Amino acid sequence: MAATAPLSLLVLLLLGPGVWGQTEPPRDSLREELVITPLPSGDVAATFQFRTRWDSELQREEVSHYRLFPKALGQLISKYSLRELHLSLTQGFWRTRYWGTPFLQAPSGAELWAWFQDTVTDVDKSWKELSNVLSGIFCASLNFIDSTNTVTPSASFKPLGLANGTDHSFLRYAVLPREVVCTENLTPWKKLLPCSSKAGLSVLLKADRLFHTSYHSQAVHIRPVCRDARCASISWELRQTLSVVFDAFVTGQGKQDWSLFRMFSRTLTEPCPLASESRVYVDVTNYSQDNETLEVYPPPLTTYQDVVLGTRKTYAVYDLLDTAVINNSRSLNLQLKWKRPPGNGYIHYQPAQDRMQPHLLEMLIQLPASSVTKVSIQFERALLKWTEYTPDPNHGFYVSPSVLSALVPSEVAAQPVDWEESPLFNTLFPASDSSSYFVRLYTEPLLVSLPTPDFSMPYNVICLTCTVVAVCYGSFYNLLTRTFQIEEPSKGGLARRLANLIRRARGVPPL
């Protein structure tokens, strides 16, 4: 786009003014919502949903005009005659045991499923093209979806939206568990939002925080819904959802208090002017009966109660379109403070940086008497860079021993002694208190063998086979071309004469 030129209009086309009809009311609407849920494990889950609804029959119109609905996805629907499209990109795994049931479920990696209209003749071809186009739009490796990882489920994955007839031959489903989700997938996802990331809840979507989490799942759901109660015509609904789970320990230095700024490094400043609804919900359920263990700041104007996922929940509601919510400082920084910190102890964790710095995990635990405490750390075996592999015979990789430092109660109360006077063996660790003594224990170092790819295997095989073939061939060749005859013993050879000489000297008959 180097050269541009101001347009000097040589031809001013004279267009007659047409009859201007009254513009219709906007046929599309946007609702946005953020739910913040403190999880039982102490982590915090944030779930964004952006819903664009468009009262239009996308398939019918040749020339398409888009307002809030993104053009890229709208074109997809009409070109590939889609009825429903569900794409999710997830990094991490939702730990139901610690975090409870999620609002939006998604498998690790990329999941794509789509229902096609029954007018589509070659579903597999459309599916292939669709996955390729989506891979371009979302910068994901969806182009690796092919017949080897595509299935047509016949019982699960019913249409989520309006559907007449469910012929499962128009459904395709594929998962790419290996897909790594990162910033380059988030950026195109954010671009589809009408307010981009400039206003409203989407301001909080800052990539470096969102990917610094234990769980990240973004999704796009497109489906037809009823336009009104009579359901005579359809509307298209696009839901963009994003769930993240913030690790409270890592980000909060061991405290479980959180605020929008601490989680997202942003605060809410203004609502998206295009949204007809823009709300933040904070889950305050489990704690409200329990004598005010936590407080939310600013105090909510309204609360909302409902049965969600089988339990009764209470939410503090903040309506961004309500001017009172975004206060005089022109920003909303939701904060949650625990009045009585749940549990005690101290955990310090400093994650490793590859080739720079090791992991450090420190825990202060009070151990009950005669009990067994297990501390286990999960790790993944990773492949090294190919130049970093050690030569074939090696021990493996050493993990340095763990350290256990403890103050053990003493059986006998010791007399306070003069530190300078007492024997040296007793005074390395200063005892603060005569009733206990200090102990530091080390565990064994751990030996981990990392997977080693066999770099030379193919060449070895080639060399070995060739050598075997060559040896066989050589023997055959010699057998066939050489002449074999019995050698008459002759008086020859230096060795023989030498041997006879010695024999003669010894008085033994010569050979």
Partner 1 sequence: MAAPGAAATDLEVVRGKRAALFFAAVVIVLGLPLWWKTTETYRAPLPYSQISGLNSLQLRLMVPVTVVFTQESVPLDDQEKLPFTVVHEREIPLKYKLKIKCRFQKAYRRALDHEEEALSLGSIQEAETMFAEPSEQAEGSLTVYVISEHSSLLPQDMMSYIGPKRMAVVRGIMHREAFNIIGRRVIQVAQAMSLTEDVLAAALADHLPEDKWSSDKRRPLKSSLGYEITFSLLNPDPKSHDVHWDIEGAVRRYVQPFLNALRAVGNFSVDSQILYYAVLGVNPRFDPASSSYYLAAHSLPHVINPVESRLGSSAASLYPVLNFLLYVPELAHSPLYIQDKDGAPVATNAFHSPRWGGIMVYNVDPKAYNGSELPVRVKVDMVRVMEVFLAQLRLLFGIAQPQLPPKCLFSGPKSEGIMSWELDRLLWARSVENLATATTTLTSLAQLLGKISNIVIKDDVASEVYRAVAAVQKAAEELASGHLASAFVASQEAVTSSERAFFDPSLLHLLYFPDDQKFAIYIPLFLPMAVPILLSLFKIFLETRKSWKKPEKID
Give, as ranges, the residues between 238 and 277 that touch partner 1 (CB under 8 A): 270, 273-274
**DSSP secondary structure, 176-211, as one string:** ETTPPP-HHHHHHHHHTSTTTTTSGGGGG--HHHHT
| Window of 91-99, 153-161, 176-184, 459-467 that interacts with partner 1 by CB under 8 A | 459-467
Give, as ranges, the residues between 477 and 496 that touch partner 1 (CB under 8 A): 477-478, 480-485
Q: Does residue number 456 form part of the binding site for partner 1 (CB under 8 A)?
A: no
- β pairing state of 446-448 and 397-399: antiparallel
Residue 71 or 348: the one with the smaller Cβ distance to partner 1 is 71
Neighbouring CB atoms inside 10 A of 293's CB total: 15
| Window of 191-199, 216-224, 319-327, 411-419 that interacts with partner 1 by CB under 8 A | 191-199
Q: Does residue number 135 form part of the binding site for partner 1 (CB under 8 A)?
A: no
Q: Find the binder of partner 1 among 360, 441, 469, 502 (CB under 8 A).
A: 469
Give, as ranges, the residues between 53 and 112 that touch partner 1 (CB under 8 A): 62-68, 70-73, 75-76, 78-79
Q: Please count the residues of the chain.
A: 511
**What are the structure tokens assigned to 390, written together?**
């050690």
Compute φ and ψ for 203, nearest 5 degrees: -60, -30
Q: Does residue number 1 form part of the binding site for partner 1 (CB under 8 A)?
A: yes
- What number of chain residues touch partner 1 (CB under 8 A)? 66
**DSSP run (H or E) holding 506:** helix 494-506
Q: Find the binder of partner 1 among 38, 42, 102, 194 (CB under 8 A).
A: 194
Q: Does residue number 199 form part of the binding site for partner 1 (CB under 8 A)?
A: yes
| Window of 6-14, 168-176, 259-267, 303-311 that interacts with partner 1 by CB under 8 A | 6-14
Q: Find the binder of partner 1 among 346, 386, 425, 459 (CB under 8 A).
A: 459
**DSSP run (H or E) holding 475:** helix 457-481
The amino acid at 263: M
Q: Does residue number 501 form part of the binding site for partner 1 (CB under 8 A)?
A: no
Residue 201's closest CA among 29, 35, 43?
Answer: 35
The amino acid at 97: R
Q: Does residue number 25 form part of the binding site for partner 1 (CB under 8 A)?
A: no
Q: Does residue number 423 form part of the binding site for partner 1 (CB under 8 A)?
A: no
The amino acid at 87: L
Residue 425 or 484: the one with the smaller Cβ distance to partner 1 is 484
DSSP label of 492: -
Q: How far apart are CA 298 and CA 328, in angstroms?
A: 13
Residue 198 or 503: the one with the smaller Cβ distance to partner 1 is 198
| Window of 10-18, 96-104, 281-289, 355-363 that interacts with partner 1 by CB under 8 A | 10-18
CA neighbours closer than 13 Å in the CB half-sphere of residue 386: 4
Residue 43 or 84: the one with the smaller Cβ distance to partner 1 is 84
Q: How far apart are CA 212 and CA 30, in angstroms?
A: 28
Q: How far apart are CA 116 and CA 113, in angstroms?
A: 10
Q: How far apart are CA 101 and CA 98, in angstroms?
A: 9
* Shortest reach from residue 299's CB to partner 1, in Å: 28
Q: Find the binder of partner 1 among 29, 59, 100, 133 (CB under 8 A).
A: 133
Q: How far apart are CA 186 and CA 138, in angstroms?
A: 8
Residue 8 or 415: the one with the smaller Cβ distance to partner 1 is 8
Point out which residues pair with 115 in neighbouring strands: 84, 171
Give, as ranges, the residues between 307 and 366 that touch partner 1 (CB under 8 A): none
* Shortest reach from residue 10's CB to partner 1, in Å: 5
Place of tokens 């889609």: 82
DSSP label of 211: T
Phi/psi region, residue 309 (left: phi>0; alpha: psi -120 to 50; beta: rest), is left
Neighbouring CB atoms inside 10 A of 77's CB total: 21
Q: Does residue number 461 form part of the binding site for partner 1 (CB under 8 A)?
A: no
Q: Find the binder of partner 1 among 183, 265, 311, 467 (CB under 8 A).
A: 467
Residue 12 or 367: the one with the smaller Cβ distance to partner 1 is 12
**What are the structure tokens assigned to 174, written together?**
């594929």
Per-position b or e across 49-69, b if 16+ CB within 10 A of its CB: bbbbbbbbebbeeeeeeeebb
Q: Does residue number 117 form part of the binding site for partner 1 (CB under 8 A)?
A: no
Residue 115's closest CA among 93, 85, 140?
Answer: 85
* Shortest reach from residue 26's CB to partner 1, in Å: 9
| Window of 196-204, 219-227, 246-254, 286-294 that interacts with partner 1 by CB under 8 A | 196-204
Phi/psi region, residue 391 (left: phi>0; alpha: psi -120 to 50; beta: rest), is beta
Residue 21 or 393: the one with the smaller Cβ distance to partner 1 is 21
Q: Does residue number 6 form part of the binding site for partner 1 (CB under 8 A)?
A: yes
Q: Does residue number 198 form part of the binding site for partner 1 (CB under 8 A)?
A: yes
Residue 58 or 210: the one with the smaller Cβ distance to partner 1 is 58
Q: Does residue number 457 form part of the binding site for partner 1 (CB under 8 A)?
A: no
Using a 10 angstrom Cβ sphere, with 0-12 exposed, 13-18 middle and 19 or more buried, the burial of residue 247 is middle
Q: Does residue number 3 form part of the binding site for partner 1 (CB under 8 A)?
A: yes
Residue 138 or 264: the one with the smaller Cβ distance to partner 1 is 138
Q: Does residue number 195 form part of the binding site for partner 1 (CB under 8 A)?
A: yes
**DSSP run (H or E) holding 497:** helix 494-506
Positions that interact with partner 1 (CB under 8 A): 1-18, 20-21, 23, 62-68, 70-73, 75-76, 78-79, 133, 136-137, 191, 194-196, 198-199, 270, 273-274, 459, 462-463, 466-467, 469-471, 473-474, 477-478, 480-485
